[in-house]
A = this chain, B = another copy of it.
Amino acid sequence: MELILKNIAQHVSLTRQEQELFLSKTEIHHYKAKTILLNSGAICKHSYFVNSGILRSFNINDNIVEHVLTFACEGWWIGDMYSLLSQKPGNLFIEVLEDAEVVLLSKENQEILYREIPKLERFFRILTENSLVANQERLMDNLSLTAEERFEKFCKKYPTLIQKVAQKQIASYLGVTPEFFSKMKSKMLRKQ
């Protein structure tokens, strides 16, 4: 069974026909690492669901410093929520970090699906709710924890990502420079 149908089934149950209708509104694409799926300044037309591989969304500050907003690996959704909802140019990039198979759901098809399968409105509401909760927690963590504590939490929460993703990507996600991250990491290893 398709991963994306399993993902939906976790929150709402679709009939066989509804599943087929849903799939008919999506496209599967294959991308090589380093492919940019969305550029800053462009309008985000799709939600992306990762079947395999790893993507990330990030912005660039003053044309220099990158900041990772999210990683997405197997079974995760990713997109530029702001641009997708407003259909205005966003400031996020979406990039492939590891060769990926991705399901694309266009904004128009998503809205057609809301009309034809109202249960999907519930599904995406729940998805957005969970995303908001995770975001709020990360925000509070950034306000109240040290870089070291944030890193420990990250390791517990995304144990698989640490092996697969370049260290500077994790540093960027945590909000520290790669140099400081390297120093911090070796300090933590020496301790424990």
Contact = CB atoms under 8 A, between A and B. Distances in A.
Chain A interface main SS type: helix
A175 B142 contact: yes
B82 A144 contact: no
25 contacts: A59-B144, A67-B143, A67-B144, A69-B139, A69-B140, A81-B132, A82-B133, A85-B129, A85-B130, A85-B133, A114-B122, A118-B118, A118-B121, A121-B122, A124-B125, A125-B128, A128-B129, A128-B132, A132-B132, A132-B135, A135-B135, A135-B139, A138-B139, A139-B139, A142-B142
Most buried by B among A122, A129, A138, A175: A129
Given A131-B132, A132-B131, A82 B137 contact: yes
Contact of A143 (B128, B131, B132, B142): B142
- The interface size bin for chain A is 20 to 34
A67 B140 contact: yes
